[in-house]
A = this chain, B = another copy of it.
Amino acid sequence: MTGSRNFAAALARLKSAGLRPTKQRLALSKLLFEGGNRHITAEQLHVEARHQGVGVSLATVYNALHQFTETGMLREVVVDAGRSYFDTNVDEHHHLFYVDEGRLEDLPRDSVGLSDIPAAPIGCRVERVELIIRVRRAAG
């Protein structure tokens, strides 16, 4: 019952994004969007999928993550040179990054006072304002 509702939700998400509901996309969509917000890398999602017996290649994971991002289901967050995180929370918000663990956590938009953002230079538009607080385990 839960399974079928989740299936229906995943199906609806793909349908409204104009993506064919393949076995792989359905499985990845469920992994990503069931449960709370997630910040995950392609490799992590691939491992998770295989671990659940979902037959999906790494190339397909990358394809799906990019398609989900293009259609607004995900957003990409860059905090670490050489690794991209995909965020299931596409609302405006900020991030806490645990440098040691390579883990991202949401900060609600109103948890930070942010004002007077400079206007974009002429001929440009602001694509996004990213605020990342990098924290590290305190020494000692």
A→B interface (CB under 8 Å): 76, 78-84, 96, 98-99, 107, 111-118, 120-121, 123-139
A128 to chain B: which residues have CB within 8 Å?
Answer: 133-134
A113 to chain B: which residues have CB within 8 Å?
Answer: 113-117
Partner of A135, one of B79, B84, B127: B127
Partner of A111, one of B112, B118, B130, B136: B118
| A123/B138 in contact, CB under 8 A | yes
The complex places the Cα of A98 from the Cα of B80 at a distance, in Å, of 18
Provide 19 A-B residue pairs closer than 8 Å at the C-beta atoms, listed in order of the A residue: A78-B80, A78-B81, A80-B81, A81-B82, A96-B118, A112-B115, A112-B116, A113-B114, A114-B114, A115-B115, A118-B133, A124-B135, A124-B136, A124-B138, A125-B135, A128-B133, A128-B134, A129-B133, A130-B130
